[in-house]
Structures are given as structure tokens and as C-alpha cells.
Copies of this chain bind each other. A is one copy, B any other.
């Protein structure tokens, strides 16, 4: 046996990335073998190397793609006029975006240490880029006198940690809808930096 009927790289490629994302998120990068990923796709391990030069690059591509999507999605979001409107948009956007991609979010926070120095630096830079969007909102509000965060850098990190934490407990069909969760977190964030 060799090439399989109906095989196409535009189909197999995405399926490999999807399988890797799911398995890495569930069991951890180091605990997942190339053979397991291949089995999930229904292919032999050797075939994966048509789509990635090695295992680490497969992880890196997933993380890079996630961060690029995150930043692009935020830039596509309608921007409010006031810092207050922009902060509310950020809070609701971050929760919504992350709840749509639990596996990728989990990976981004857990598996950075499995990257080599260059790949690690690339992802870190994207993360800082995203954080800076929030920090700028806080700085503007601070300058306008409508926020009174004791330290906008720390407030940035505190808010992002708080929002990202939603992914650890939120379950679809649970006590609260996504919108309700967004409203509750927005209330806490708003007050935490209020003047």
C-alpha cells in the first residue's frame, strides 16, 4: 500500500494540525507521540513529515497561528470611542475569543517551555504585543482621569490573568451564559481600575 484514495494535502494538513492541537492540549506536548497524532488522523507516522519538519515545529505553528488570529481578531473588532468603551470591548472580546478556542489557549499557556529559544521569543513577542493593546487603553483612560489604576502595567497583567482564568471553569450549558459571564467580569474589571 502507498498513496490512499482521496488523499489530498489540503485535507490531511489541517486534519494533522487539528489532531495535534487536541492531543497536545489534552495530554501535553511531551506525552503525545507522533504515532498517536498519525493514528488520530488515520495515517502512518511517516506521513506527518510531509507536513512538518519535526514535532517542535508542529507545536510552534499551532501557537503562532493562534496568536496571529488573536491579534487579527482584536484588530477587526469595532473600536469604541472612549477608553471605557474600549476596555469593555476588550473584556468581552477576550472572554469570547478564548472560550471559542480552549485547546489553543491551554497550549499557549502550558507548552511554551517546549519551544527552542528562537521560537519561544517569537511567541512571547506576540503575547506582549497583545498585552500592549490593553495597556494602551488603560494609559489613555488614566491620562483622561477616568481610570485610576495604581500601575497600568500590573493592571494589564492582572486583568488578562483574570479573564483568561474563565477558560479553566466555564462549561457550556452551565449556570451562566457567555454574555452573563462577560457582564460579570466587565463589572469587576471596570470597578478595579475605576477612578
Q: What's the number of copies of this chain in the assembled complex?
A: 2
A180 to B, closest residue via Cβ: B151
User: How many residues of A are in contact with the other chain, CB < 8 A?
Assistant: 36
A159 to B, closest residue via Cβ: B162
Judge whether A38 is part of the interface by a CB distance below 8 angstroms: no
- With A161-B164, A191-B191 already in contact, the answer to whether A28 and B184 are too (CB < 8 A) is no
A180-195 interface (Cβ within 8 A of B)? 181, 183-185, 187-189, 191-194
Instruction: List the 10 shortest-distance A-B pairs measured between CB atoms, nearest first.
Output: A161-B165, A30-B31, A192-B192, A30-B30, A162-B162, A188-B192, A150-B184, A158-B162, A150-B187, A191-B191
Q: Which residues of A contact B (CB under 8 A)?
A: 26-31, 110, 113-114, 149-151, 154-155, 157-162, 164-165, 168-169, 176, 181, 183-185, 187-189, 191-194
